[in-house]
Every structure is written in C-alpha cells, then in structure tokens.
Structure 1
Amino acid sequence: MSDDLMRAALAAAQRGWHVFPLRPGTKRPALHGETACPRTGPCAEGHRKWEVRATTDPDRIRAAWQRAPFNVGIATGPSGLLVVDLDVPKTNSSMDAPCGATTFKALCERTGQAVPRTRTVRTASSGQHLYFTAPAAARLHNTAGTLAPLVDTRAWGGYVVAAGSAVDGTRYEVQGPALLRALPDWLKRTLVPPHPVNRPAAVPAARVHRPYVDAALAQETAAVTTAPEGRRNATLLRAARALGRFVASGDLTHDEVEMPLQRAGESAGLSATECRTTLRSALDWSITHNQTRTGVAA
C-alpha cells in the first residue's frame, strides 16, 4: 500500500502537480499547523503552509512517503488546476436531494452547454472530481455552491485527494479517459464575475474633501492587508462597517470603499468571492444603520 501511494504521488508530480502528504486513510494534511510549527527546517524563516510546501521534487516525495502510507494531496493552485467537486448528500435526511453531478448537469443544460469531458476521478464518497487546467490570466480561488448545490471548486487555497489514495477503505480512481482539458470559457465566466476593481468610480462633483476621511480609508485598508490568519474576514467586516458611514454621509462613494477593501482582502489571502460577500453585507448594514444619523432617511 505504501509503495502504491508513493507511485501515485510520483505520477502526479510527473504531470507537474504539486503534492503533499495526507494522514493515512484520511483527507487531512499530515503536515504540522501554524500553532505547532517548530520554526525549523522548511519553516526556519516562518511557518509554511501545505500549499507552499507541496512539491514536484521526486527525492522529497520518496523521502516523505517512505515514512508512512500517506494519502496524496494535490495543491490545486500551484499545480495550475481547477477541480470541480461534484459531491453527494451527506446525511440521511438529504438523501432525496439531487447530487452534485445532477445539479451540475442541470447547470450545463440551462446554459446550453454539454457536460465537459475531462479527467475525472471518482471519490471515496462516490462523488466526482473533474480536473481542468486553470486559466493563466485569472487567479481563481475555491468556491462552495457558487455554480450549483453540492458543486464546489478547488483552485488557489485548495487541494484534492489524488487518485490512488484511499479514504475509509475506498480508493479514489480515475474514470474513463485521463485527458485533461482546459477550463471551458463559460465556466470561467461564471467563476469570474465582473470585478469591482474594473469598474470606474463615480465621484460626486460637489463633494468637499475631508482629510480625515482619506486617513480612515487608508488606515482600514492597511488593517485588512496585514490581518493575521484567522482574523482576516472579521477585520474586513469591521473595516467595511466603519467606512460605510462615509458612504451614507456622501463623503465616499460605494466603489471608493469597496474597491480598495476588495484588493486588500485578496492580498491578505481571502478569496475574491469571500471578499465580495463580506463587503456587500457589511456595507449594506453600515449604510442602513447610519442613514438616520446623517439625515438621509428622516
């Protein structure tokens, strides 16, 4: 079993896919977390997460898989992959719900597209992973249910269990032809909606310049950019709520707040989708709660 898993890791690396060990029989990374980091070896200059430590180096792979029968994780972002995860209902109460393969097929039909044929891996839960090469011009991140119910995607910040690994005694296996296709343009358009940084900001002609408004914007943007892991989304939420009062008062436009915070959130490590969702909610809340005070809603 250990030799088979080592061969699976080496085969993935030969394709240019960056691999790292998962705990035997599970989908959990076998590498230490930040709180347990010894700050030595690969982490001598600071903790390095599994996505950074994933490798295509055959010597490193052999050394790692000689230690234990690790499952094989593929870091999708560094590997240039986007994987569509077609899941199955998890609980007995939802067994009548359509599976991800069904909802994805319905999505394809609604958009007038055929279900893409590409490298497909059957998962341990009888779901499917559809592998695509990710577009070089767009840094895609993970999504959850964005395309359809029980349809997730794995890209930067995500990983998948490689074929040849086994979870709960069931092996991940390649189904059908192993040809790897590029992400279809229609799927890319769905996953990359118009970005706020691409929209021109409308600036009110008669607005009075207030230095403290600019200072607040700069301070909150910097706080989001430097937010530590585990506090990034909360910092983005707080910053948007703090700056939303300037939108309510007319000192800043919605885009003048949303655009720099979106860039700051993505720079800190949040996905574009996470940033958009948090900003939309926080700004709407702040504008609503500051309207009566600024006289917008008397």
Structure 2
Amino acid sequence: MGQHSFPAGRARAGRQRAPVLNTPGAAASHQRPRPPRLSIPCSQNRSTPSMTPTPQSALLLNSALDAAHRGWRVHPLRPGAKGSALHGERTCPLTGPCAGGHRKWEDRATTDPDRIRAAWAAGAFNVGIATGPSNLVVVDLDVPKDKSKKDAPCGATSFKALCERAGAPCPTTFTVRTPSGGMHLYFSVPPSMRLSSTAGTLAPHIDTRAWGGNIVAPGSTTPDGAYEVLDDVPLAALPHWLPPLLIEPPKPAAAPAPLLVPEAVTRRAKAALEREVAAVAGTSEGGRNTRLLEGARALGRFVAWGEIPRDVVEEAFQAGGEAAGLSASECRATIHSALTWSIRTCRPRRAA
C-alpha cells in the first residue's frame, strides 16, 4: 500500500458462495441450514471427532489456524454468515466452560490448535476473531449501501482524509477486502490499551472493532462473496493519532436511585442486597463486571430460599451496575447468568 493511497489488489476470479451443508434436520436445500450450537472444547479434551472434512471446511480450518498462529483468538461463526455459532446466554447449559456462569464468545475465543481442530471438525464454520483479547484494533472501511447517494464518500475516502488532517500517510498494514467491497485494516495495540469498539465515531462508514468487537477473518464466505487478504504485510501499530479519537469522554457517575424493597423481604436479605449493590456502584473501571457477578451470586441463595423476589434483586443490581458505568445490556447478561448459577448451586437453607 502506498503512502497516500490504498492498494487496488488483484481480484480473484469469481466470488465464492457459501456452501450449503447437509445438516441433519435442515429444511429444503434452498434454505440456509441451522448449524449446531457448539462449544469450543476445553483444552484438556484432546480428542477430535472422526469426520472427513470437505474442501470448504478444510479451508476454513486452515484460516482459523493461521489466525491463531498470528496470536489472534478465534471462535466459530455460523456457516456462510457472521453470527456466532456458540450458544448464547438463553441457551447456556451452565456446564463445561460455563459451569461458573455463562461465558460469552469473546471469553471463549482461543488460539489453542487442538480446540480449534475439534470445533471446526463439526462443520464448515466461518472464522471470527475476537479483536480485544487479540490486542487488535480493526478499522472497518465500508461502502455506502444506498446507491442513490452517489456523492457520499466511502469509508476509505473518509479515512484518507483523516490521515491527511493528522499530517500522516495512509498506513501500510495487513488488509482484508470484504464481500461488499470495503476493507478491514488490522492494527496492533499493547495489552494495556483497552479501547472499545465504535460505529461511525470517526466518520460515516468507518467502524472500529476492539474490545467487545468481532471481525470476520479472511477465508470466510457469505452469500455476497468471500473475505480475501488484500495486502499480506506485517501488522502495523495503531497510528498514534487514532486512540484520542476513539476514547469517549467519561460520563459523570449517576447516583443510584434508593432501593425500594418490599416489606415481605427478610431483614438479612435486604441488608445483603443494599450492601452488595452499594459495593457494585462504587467499583471503578477494570473490576466492575467482576464485582457485579460476585454481588449477584451472593444474593442468589436468598432468592432460592424465598426471602426476596428475583425481580427485586435484578432491578437493584441493574441500577448499581449502570451507576458504575456498565452498559445496560452487559448488566442484564451478567446479573441473569450470576443469579441462575447461584440459585441452581446453592445449598438448602437448613444446611447453609
């Protein structure tokens, strides 16, 4: 890639189409099959299912192993799609890796070759990269989807303008072309830099994938085509002028509303709830989610014993978590997972 322009790249003949898998129980062949909901096996389990790989599944396995070799944590995506193939919170069995509570795909992504082979032996799964744990920031340069707006700049044009404004050349780094004609620019960041993903923060048609973000790896396909390596060069460090543009100013901490606890709640359950919620609300960045998980687990036994309604506990911890700066969706997922695990595993009241 030149200093002031992006690489044109050489187009491969024809766009690849996502394979149609003969998944048991699938509908007619013209419908997209529903892939199995798999969990990446624990590294202790080295056995790989005996299965003859198809050329497409072998290609995707190699793509996953190549990404892992680069130090990027991968997880399986649905065949021919971009959504995770791992089970979600609502269908979590709370066993294996999730025995202590549901673990999201970002936590379960791996670089372990044996776990990767075991996961991709189950089918031709697309490859997802968990950017945050991989110490990556990927700049996603998209193209306008509304063809009627011919004058709208694409993401690549806007990014070039940002570089010029910063007085820096367009960086040369590992680049992937997307099926829509956009580009993914991969950058390395130090483990101490924890940036969140953004959407349109830099400019229209420019997103970034960092913590909380997933990027589709090259070799994967969708009905629109394939993700292909456009510039296979060493990874560049994230330009120094980008992080300040990606960091949102801290929001002022909001005081949590006073707890309204029904009279039917026992005194010890009420005291425990007030104590734990206050601790969650006062936790600073870096330990908020863990403290929320611990607090909700501590209250699960009182819910199981009938000393306090579950919805009262959920509402209180939701307010405490958001006051600490966590997003509403992150609070809901953590609280639900923690309470479900605690209620299921707590001892009977007489034995506690």
Correspondence for 1:8 among 63, 73, 83 = 63
Q: Name the CA shift for 1:178/1:43 in 2 (closer, same or farther; >3 Å).
A: same
Q: How does 1:82-93 map to 2 (within 5 A)?
A: 82-93=137-148
Counterpart of 1:131? 186
Q: How does 1:42-121 map to 2 (within 5 A)?
A: 42-121=97-176
Once the two structures are TM-superposed, the CA of residue 183 in structure 1 deviates from its matched residue by 0.6
> Which residue identity is paired with 2:124?
P
> Which residue identity is paired with 1:174?
V
Structure 2: runs of 5+ lacking an equivalent: 1-55, 253-274, 297-313, 331-352
Aligned-pair identity in percent equals 58
Correspondence for 1:265 among 314, 325, 330 = 325
Query: Does the alignment pair 1:38 with 2:98?
Result: no
Work out the CA distance in 2 between the residues paired with 1:177 and 1:131: 11
Correspondence for 1:149 among 194, 204, 218 = 204
Work out the CA distance in 1 between the residues paired with 2:221 and 2:315: 34
Query: Does the alignment pair 1:19 with 2:79?
Result: no
Work out the CA distance in 2 between the residues paired with 1:145 and 1:166: 25
> Which residue identity is paired with 1:63?
A
Counterpart of 1:190? 245
Q: Provide TM-score, normalisation by structure 2.
A: 0.58
- Are the counterparts in 2 of residues 142 and 156 from structure 1 also a CA contact under 8 Å? yes
- Are the counterparts in 1 of residues 278 and 320 from structure 2 also a CA contact under 8 Å? no
Counterpart of 2:281? 221
Work out the CA distance in 2 between the residues paired with 1:20 and 1:85: 19
How many residues in Structure 1 have an aligned counterpart in Structure 2? 226
Q: Name the CA shift for 1:104/1:235 in 2 (closer, same or farther; >3 Å).
A: farther
CA offsets 1:115-137 (integer angstroms, 9 cap, x no match): 11111000111110000002333
Once the two structures are TM-superposed, the CA of residue 218 in structure 1 deviates from its matched residue by 5.1
Q: Name the CA shift for 1:93/1:11 in 2 (closer, same or farther; >3 Å).
A: same
Work out the CA distance in 2 between the residues paired with 1:14 and 1:57: 9
Query: Does the alignment pair 1:162 with 2:217?
Result: yes
Counterpart of 1:273? none
> Which residue identity is paired with 1:151?
I
Work out the CA distance in 2 between the residues paired with 1:138 and 1:195: 16
- Are the counterparts in 1 of residues 132 and 211 from structure 2 also a CA contact under 8 Å? yes
- Are the counterparts in 2 of residues 78 and 156 from structure 1 also a CA contact under 8 Å? yes
Work out the CA distance in 1 between the residues paired with 2:69 and 2:123: 21
Work out the CA distance in 2 between the residues paired with 1:49 and 1:29: 10
Structure 1: runs of 5+ lacking an equivalent: 198-214, 240-260, 271-298
> Which residue identity is paired with 2:175?
T
CA offsets 1:86-118 (integer angstroms, 9 cap, x no match): 011123344542111111111111222211111
The RMSD of aligned alpha carbons is 3.2
Q: Provide TM-score, normalisation by structure 1.
A: 0.68
Counterpart of 1:179? 234
Once the two structures are TM-superposed, the CA of residue 62 in structure 1 deviates from its matched residue by 0.6
- Are the counterparts in 1 of residues 74 and 130 from structure 2 also a CA contact under 8 Å? yes
Counterpart of 2:35? none
- Are the counterparts in 2 of residues 83 and 155 from structure 1 also a CA contact under 8 Å? yes
Work out the CA distance in 2 between the residues paired with 1:176 and 1:64: 28
Work out the CA distance in 1 between the residues paired with 2:60 and 2:132: 22
> Which residue identity is paired with 1:3?
A
SS in 2 for 1:186: coil
> Which residue identity is paired with 1:265?
G
